[in-house]
């Protein structure tokens, strides 16, 4: 493939924190700067790759991954960003792209505002700039975490999520009100479960009545891409989702905050906090189930038996020992 036929990838990224910078940091402003630079320096066959509303710490970005697929396929000659932080704020991964991935695929990288151009030999300060970009992300993460902790201590919802069956009060987003569409579903699931209906029958009822799963419903309501995959099986409710609903104290009208924490500001993975690390606020909104129904559900959940592989392996030896003991007993009697 001739160099002139290859793509000039113009990459734009904007995070929630960057939006505070106003129009100067907007996607449209970045596009204007990148296209003008490409035109003035005669970079041909330009193509935009965009991630709007994504942190630079994570590299699991749709636009970035699409661009890297083109890079690895050998279809990109040059990658241009407004500055290094647009490419990423993770020191190690950004450095890997600039110093390994791009050179191995014959890609020239340019960060306009930082004066970085890998076609030159004067990029010694690029790793230092990447480190400062990560330091900024780390500092921002600490500040956000402190704000969220303070909100959690006041009983405010900090992640924008809310339990299935509720919606935010239009007059106060931290207050929940029953969702007319899904609150009856929660009540029906509890009623069926405590009456002894098997989980597979509850799932069958949900599918027959075309009740959208939580992810499918959120995709239908918001159109957000991260829920799009749920539309592959929009009426197939996993066991875990239903058991999680049956165990949520929010359906008693209580608020529990600080349930989880992030492993690291560089990771999307979360871990559950211990009970003593959580904050409990009773009677904050209208309950969907009463105490008796909820307790009955917990008792039935507690009786579930899910043998581990070790337990399954031990079943046969245990039976053998019991059989041997019986034989010995019969022999002794004889």
Burial class (CB in 10 A: 0-12, 13-18, 19+), 75: middle
**What does the pLDDT read at residue 135?**
56
Q: Is the pLDDT of residue 56 over 50?
A: yes
Intervals of CATH 3.40.50.1390 along the chain: 3-140
For the segment 80-98, the average pLDDT, to the nearest whole number, is: 87
Topology given in CATH for the domain delimited by 3-140: Rossmann fold (3.40.50)
The distance of Cα 28 from the centroid of its chain, to the nearest Å, equals 26
Share of the chain above pLDDT 70, in %: 72
Q: Which residues contact 218 (CB under 8 A, 6 or more apart)?
A: 224, 227, 230
pTM: 0.50
How confident is the model over 201-226, as a mean pLDDT?
Answer: 91
pLDDT tens per residue across span 254-269: 988 766 656 554 556 7
Dihedral, CA of residue 72, residue 58, residue 16 and residue 226, to nearest 10: 80
Q: According to CATH, where is 3.90.1750 located in the chain?
A: 155-302
- What is the number of other CB atoms lying within 10 angstroms of the CB of residue 74? 12
How far apart CA 289 and CA 41 sit, in angstroms, is 66
Least confident of 191-205, 211-225, 284-298: 211-225
Helix 239-247 with 183-194: angle, nearest 10 deg:
90
Q: Give the sign of the dihedral formed by CA 289, CA 293, CA 295, CA 297.
A: negative
Mean pLDDT along residues 301-313: 56
Q: Which range among 187-201, 272-286, 315-329 shows the weakest confidence by mean pLDDT?
A: 315-329
Q: Which of the residue ranges 55-59, 154-158, 159-163, 210-214 would you say has the lowest mean pLDDT?
A: 154-158
CA distance 113 to 36: 13
> What pLDDT was estimated at residue 173?
81
| CATH architecture for segment(s) 155-302 | Alpha-Beta Complex (3.90)
């Amino acid at each position: 493939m001739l160099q002139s036929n290859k793509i000039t990838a113009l990459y734009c990224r904007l995070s929630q924190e960057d939006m505070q910078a106003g129009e100067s940091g907007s996607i449209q402003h970045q596009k204007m700067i990148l296209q003008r630079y490409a035109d003035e320096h005669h970079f041909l066959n330009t193509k935009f790759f965009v991630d709007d509303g994504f942190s630079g710490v994570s590299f699991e970005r749709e636009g970035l991954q699409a661009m890297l697929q083109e890079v690895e396929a050998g279809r990109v000659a040059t990658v241009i960003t407004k500055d290094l932080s647009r490419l990423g704020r993770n020191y190690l991964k950004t450095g890997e792209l600039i110093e390994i991935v791009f050179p191995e695929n014959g890609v020239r990288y340019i960060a306009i505002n930082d004066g970085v151009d890998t076609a030159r030999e004067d990029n010694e300060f690029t790793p230092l700039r990447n480190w400062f970009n990560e330091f900024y992300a780390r500092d921002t993460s600490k500040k956000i975490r402190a704000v969220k902790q303070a909100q959690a201590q006041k009983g405010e919802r900090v992640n924008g999520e809310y339990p299935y069956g509720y919606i935010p009060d239009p007059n106060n987003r931290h207050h929940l009100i029953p969702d007319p569409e899904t609150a009856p579903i929660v009540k029906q699931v509890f009623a069926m479960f405590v009456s002894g209906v098997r989980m597979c029958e509850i799932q069958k009822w949900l599918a027959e009545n075309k009740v959208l799963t939580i992810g499918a419903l959120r995709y239908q309501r918001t159109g957000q891409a991260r829920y799009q995959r749920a539309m592959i099986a929009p009426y197939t409710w996993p066991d875990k989702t239903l058991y999680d609903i049956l165990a949520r104290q929010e359906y008693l009208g209580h608020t529990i905050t600080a349930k989880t924490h992030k492993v690291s500001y560089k990771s999307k993975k979360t871990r559950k906090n211990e009970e003593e690390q959580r904050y409990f606020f009773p009677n904050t909104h209208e309950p969907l189930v009463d105490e008796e129904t909820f307790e009955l559900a917990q008792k039935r959940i507690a009786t579930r038996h899910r043998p581990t592989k070790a337990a399954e392996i031990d079943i046969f030896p245990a039976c053998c020992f019991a059989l041997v003991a019986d034989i010995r007993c019969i022999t002794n009697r004889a």
